[in-house]
Amino acid sequence: MATHPRIASEFNALEESSWLFISYLLAGVVTQTLYAKLSDIYGRKWLLVFCYALMVVGLITIGMGQSMWQVVLGRVISGSGGSGMSSIGLVLITDLIPLREVATWHGYLNVINTTGRSLGGPLGGWLADQVGWRWSFLSQAPMFAIAVVSCILAIPNTKRATASQNYNGIKTNFFVRIDMIGIILLGLGILAMMLPLELGGVYVSWEHPIIFVLFSIGAVLLLLFLANEVWWAPNPVFPVRMLKNKELVACYLVIGLLAAAQTALMFSVPLYFQVTQRVSNTIAGIHLFPAVFGNAVGGLAAGRIIKATGRYKVVAIAASVSGSIAYLLLILRWLGKTNWLESMYIFFGGLGAGMGNTAIFVSLNAVTEPSHKAVAASGLFLSMPIGMITGIAVTSALMLEVMQKQLDDGLVKLGLNLAARLEIISKASGNVDYIYSLHGPVADAISSAYVDGLRWGYGVSFACSIFALLAAFILKNRRLE
């Protein structure tokens, strides 16, 4: 989050920096439901060990990458491990702990998680400033190696009790039990839907036929995925019939929308301060701290409230309201000269995301049959990266489109000809160091254009929070025993 402008700028690809996130998240979408099935069959422990090992391989690939797309490949490998690492760890908690205690333990994990992310922003930025951004990835590999050993020594190997039985009493092969066709259709469908958001307005115009072709291909692939899950797959990767439960659908909507809102914000914050105040990577990372601290506070608060009252709906509603307030304040007040007090607005966005994650995870386990717990959780962790991908892709596309248009208008007012304007727009879109090197009216025009573009990005987060609020009202006001 703190170093993506620097990484992309090294390859003169600042406008492609969103792929550093999207590639990681897309790999998670493709593998998420696969891990849920495998953990039911082979147990959670060894899948978790495998995911940690994938992270090591991915981090080394990123650190050694010599081009933008080699770095993106490393992010894909890391994302494949990261998706299982998150979901299997949380499913393990529900295997071992009574449901009413899960919210509290989720809060503990949130604190640990947030402590790491709080350190990661400024530490990653400092490493990028002092020894190069590659070491912000390479230095993580030994930590995951330690995690592999810890996991082997300490974690019990739980799995669904009925998972060892053969399908319909017949011995089946790996591909029938896992539904690889469904996994491939889902991954390709989401990729086809995301590509137009990255290509449109940057590489081709929004009216170009390729945009409509890709959207159409994505829609067809996703429809085929649904058809496969309903009619063709003997053991579907995601039982679509579970979506008849409107509360389960509400859980997926709330978590996906809150994830879209916060991830879009976290993508924008370092770029905002680098462009408007020309801060270092270290300071850009520190500016993310209020949001991740809000995550920890929100997770702990939600755990306490749910444990004390046994209710989760009000927490989900409060989470969406908190996020909405934060993003509205950014739209109204982050206009380029943001003081330290106003930089704290993002705390409330983090607070909402932390509360929402805990409340929805408890809610999902309360409304799902125990035998479908891992698969339902995989759907939850599928909703999160889909929301994140969508939030980043829409925010990046909208921000670039508005920024480039506003910058062109500003340069016209300065009397620059077409060739000069195109050169400035290209360099401003591709390399943050170019912005640092400028002074005077052109620098002011670039900064103003970025501010306008980023405000539209905050608007995406605000809209997602409002829709999450509406979805939260669908949940029933149950009391956990």
Residue 224: what are its φ and ψ, rounded to 5°?
Answer: -65, -35
Query: Does the pLDDT value for residue 202 go beyond 70?
Result: no
What would the pLDDT profile of 255-309 be if each residue is shown by its tens digit? Answer: 999 999 998 998 899 889 988 988 887 888 888 889 888 988 888 888 888 888 8
Question: What pLDDT score was predicted for residue 167?
Answer: 44
Q: By mean pLDDT, which of 88-92, 137-141, 219-223, 315-319 is the weakest?
A: 88-92
Alpha-carbon separation of residue 347 from 247, 320, 322, 325 (angstroms): 28, 13, 9, 11
Using pLDDT thresholds of 50, 70 and 90, give the confidence band for residue 172.
low
Q: Over the range 454-468, which residues count as b (16 or more CB within 10 Å of their CB) and which as e?
A: bbbbbbbbbbbbbbb
What would the pLDDT profile of 46-98 be if each residue is shown by its tens digit? Answer: 888 999 999 999 999 999 988 988 999 999 999 889 888 877 877 788 788 87
C-alpha to C-alpha distance for 59 and 141, rounded to whole angstroms: 6
122's tokens: 């400024």
Query: Does the pLDDT value for residue 254 go beyond 80?
Result: yes
Closest by CA position to 37, among listed 414, 378, 469, 431: 378
Residue 271: what are its φ and ψ, rounded to 5°?
Answer: -65, -40
pTM, rounded to two decimals:
0.75
Question: What pLDDT score was predicted for residue 317?
Answer: 94
Asked whether 85 and 52 are in contact (CB, 8 A), the reply is yes
Look up tokens 């995989």; give the residue: 378
Using pLDDT thresholds of 50, 70 and 90, give the confidence band for residue 160.
low
Asked whether 432 and 274 are in contact (CB, 8 A), the reply is yes
C-alpha to C-alpha distance for 246 and 421, rounded to whole angstroms: 52
Residue 343 DSSP code: G
CB-CB neighbours of 417 under 10 Å:
9
Query: Does the pLDDT value for residue 108 go beyond 90?
Result: no
Closest by CA position to 174, among listed 37, 374, 375, 49: 37
Question: What pLDDT score was predicted for residue 388?
Answer: 85
Residue 481, CB half-sphere, CA atoms under 13 Å: how many? Answer: 0
Sign of the dihedral defined by the CA atoms of residues 395, 397, 403, 405, in that order: negative
Closest by CA position to 409, among listed 452, 357, 469, 473: 452
What would the pLDDT profile of 442-458 be if each residue is shown by its tens digit? Answer: 999 999 999 999 999 99
Residue 159: what are its φ and ψ, rounded to 5°?
Answer: -160, 170
Instruction: State the chain's mean pLDDT as an integer.
Output: 84
Identify the residue with better confidence: 105 or 57.
57
Residue 368 DSSP code: S
Residue 204: what are its φ and ψ, rounded to 5°?
Answer: -140, 160
Query: Does the pLDDT value for residue 481 go beyond 70?
Result: no
Using pLDDT thresholds of 50, 70 and 90, give the confidence band for residue 405.
very high
Query: Does the pLDDT value for residue 141 go beyond 80?
Result: yes
Question: What pLDDT score was predicted for residue 373?
Answer: 67
What would the pLDDT profile of 407-453 be if each residue is shown by its tens digit? Answer: 999 999 999 999 999 999 988 888 878 888 888 899 999 999 999 99
SS3 call for 12: coil
What would the pLDDT profile of 313-353 be if each residue is shown by its tens digit? Answer: 899 999 999 999 999 999 999 998 888 899 999 999 999 99
- 229 Cβ neighbours under 8 A, 6+ residues apart: 179, 182, 236, 237, 238, 239, 240
Using pLDDT thresholds of 50, 70 and 90, give the confidence band for residue 162.
very low
Asked whether 331 and 264 are in contact (CB, 8 A), the reply is no
Question: What pLDDT score was predicted for residue 21?
Answer: 81
Question: What pLDDT score was predicted for residue 163?
Answer: 43
Query: Does the pLDDT value for residue 16 go beyond 50?
Result: yes
Q: What percent of the chain lies above the pLDDT cut of 70?
A: 91
Question: Mean pLDDT throughout 459-469?
Answer: 95
Query: Does the pLDDT value for residue 361 go beyond 90?
Result: no
